Structure 1
Amino acid sequence: MDEFCEREMVGPFKGVSSAVDSQSGSDRLEDEEAEHRQEIEAEAERQRVLLAEQEAAILEDRKKNKSKYTPIRNTDIPSNPVILPCQYAIRKMKSEDYCELFYFTNAGLEETSRATFTADEDALVMLPTSDGLHKWIPAGAARDPKVHMLKDENLTWEQFNEAAPCMISVMRENDWLDDRIDMHVAFWLALQNHRWWHDFNAHKQRALLLYQAQQQRRWHLSIGSSNSWSLAKINQDLLNKA
């Protein structure tokens, strides 16, 4: 009787236990599969972030080292050497800061070709300061003290006509915004086509160059502020005062 009761009682519980074990195994399998999916998704996200970081690093490197990624042109070696502006002028163009036109004239380019100033723009050079002391500064941020630089207002019209197209080319090479390049083209063409340029009065011709120098500096100082303006049109009132 006792054995019979025991069998009768144990039988149903064994079935329940088997069902519980089966359910536990199924839950465990689902948990493992969910965990595996999470690992796959996490790895995919990690790879996506890594790829994005690599692409961003390459893009930044392309910006900093344009020459490294510039394709080689399938042209013969030029008979005459290509003379580039000095590192000081190049750095100014890269940062879109004001730079004197002299560095883009034939005389300025010739000075660069003869200069012994270091070609490494990050190298430090010691130069005298306005207070009579000497200071270490990056070569690319310094003017070569041996170069006799002319201010824009002291250029001849011939030198101005040499420099303007050369500077426009360097602007394009350094990815200036199209509207800024177009503004400079319009500005300089307006000066060249102004009636004073053809005037017999030499003072009026000089006034155009002085106006160019003054307004070019003012415009660069205004960049980024709410008071910026376009140089494209000549302000005759300011020109009369130049």
Structure 2
Amino acid sequence: MPLLAENPNLAIVPDFESNEHAEARAQLINDTVDEQQAADILASLWRIQNNSDKLRWDARLQEEARTAEAERRQAAEAEAQRQQTLLAEQEAAVLEERKKNKSKYAPIRNIDIPSNPIILPCQYAIRRMKSGEFCELFYFTNNGLEEASRAVFTADEDALIMLPTSDGMHKWIPAGAARDPKAQVVKDENLTWEQFNEAAPCMIALMKENDWPDDRVDMHIAFWSALQNHRWRHDFEVHKQ
């Protein structure tokens, strides 16, 4: 069946009563069919054919729509497959690049820039803070920290060194537990207020770093705060200070 060139839904019934269709009417005229009836019969036949053409036209449109949808779907699937292949190739290239240049892609921790000063007292003071033993405040003053920065420590703080004892004998002790014999340690009671203000916050920081119990840390803070806030501390008489 030939394809329709024009949409039959837009077709208009011809005027079968005109002279243009006289020959067609003549073929239908007889003793029982006159001119008008012949024109009506031709119009009816045209409508029957037009309705059939409409069905064919709609079927054609539906088929074309199905074909277009199938082509669109195939094209989309092909494009998706192409994109997936491209992505896989890119991921493989990135993995290969990361393998070749591991340091370039090493993870970076998203942390704030440290703003607190780094406190590095001598090994003796650090060991005391770790064990929770008494340690002079001097080691945490600016002078004490400066001396520690200039000192040369043994690589192993647990290495043993021999030192003389009060009874004149010699004893092996860990290097980290020994005082630097060259250090001029000032007793706590002889520190200036300025040195005390330098040392106290540093020692508190080392206590926290070495997991001192909170009540011990709070005790020192309360005690040192009491000294700082005592009325004699701020008296104009030097003797009271």
Match of 2:188 among 142, 145, 152: 152
Using the size of structure 2 for normalisation, the TM-score is 0.50
Match of 2:176 among 140, 143, 154: 140
Aligned residue for 1:163, secondary structure, equals helix
Q: 1:119 to 1:188 in 2, by over 3 A?
A: farther
Match of 2:149 among 113, 130, 136: 113
Instruction: Decide whether the 8 Å contact of 2:160 with 2:173 is kept in 1.
Output: yes
Matching of residues 77-96 of structure 1 within 5 Å: 82-96=118-132
Instruction: Give 1:3's aligned residue.
Output: none
How far has the Cα of 1:154 moved from its partner? 0.9
Cα-to-partner distance string for 1:16-53 (whole Å, 9 max, x where unaligned):
xxxxxxxxxxxxxxxxxxxxxxxxxxxxxxxxxxxxxx
Instruction: Decide whether the 8 Å contact of 1:83 with 1:113 is kept in 2.
Output: no
Q: 1:145 to 1:73 in 2, by over 3 A?
A: farther
Instruction: Give 2:53's aligned residue.
Output: none
Using the size of structure 1 for normalisation, the TM-score is 0.50
Q: 1:119 & 1:94 partners in 2: Cα distance? A: 18
Instruction: Give 1:181's aligned residue.
Output: 217
Instruction: Structure 2: give runs of 5+ residues left out of the alignment.
Output: 1-108
How far has the Cα of 1:202 moved from its partner? 2.3
Q: 1:83 to 1:193 in 2, by over 3 A?
A: closer
Instruction: Give 1:97's aligned residue.
Output: 133
What amino acid is aligned across from residue 169 of structure 2 in structure 1? L
Instruction: Decide whether the 8 Å contact of 1:87 with 1:119 is kept in 2.
Output: no
Q: 1:195 to 1:76 in 2, by over 3 A?
A: closer
Instruction: Decide whether the 8 Å contact of 2:119 with 2:202 is kept in 1.
Output: no
Sequence identity (%): 77
More helix by share: 1
Structure with the bigger RCO (C-alpha within 8 Å, sep 6+) is 1
What amino acid is aligned across from residue 175 of structure 1 in structure 2? D
Q: 1:117 to 1:73 in 2, by over 3 A?
A: farther
How far has the Cα of 1:82 moved from its partner? 4.1
Aligned residue for 1:188, secondary structure, equals helix
What amino acid is aligned across from residue 205 of structure 2 in structure 1? S
Q: 2:216 & 2:114 partners in 1: Cα distance? A: 33
Instruction: Decide whether the 8 Å contact of 2:123 with 2:153 is kept in 1.
Output: no
Q: 1:106 & 1:73 partners in 2: Cα distance? A: 32
Instruction: Structure 1: give runs of 5+ residues left out of the alignment.
Output: 1-71, 206-242
Aligned residue for 1:125, secondary structure, equals strand
How far has the Cα of 1:204 moved from its partner? 2.2
Q: 2:205 & 2:118 partners in 1: Cα distance? A: 14
Moved over 4 A (4+): 72-78
Calculate the aligned-residue CA RMSD, in Å.
Answer: 2.5
Aligned residue for 1:112, secondary structure, equals helix
Name which one, 1 or 2, has greater alpha-carbon Rg.
2
Q: 1:128 to 1:75 in 2, by over 3 A?
A: farther
Aligned residue for 2:239, secondary structure, equals helix
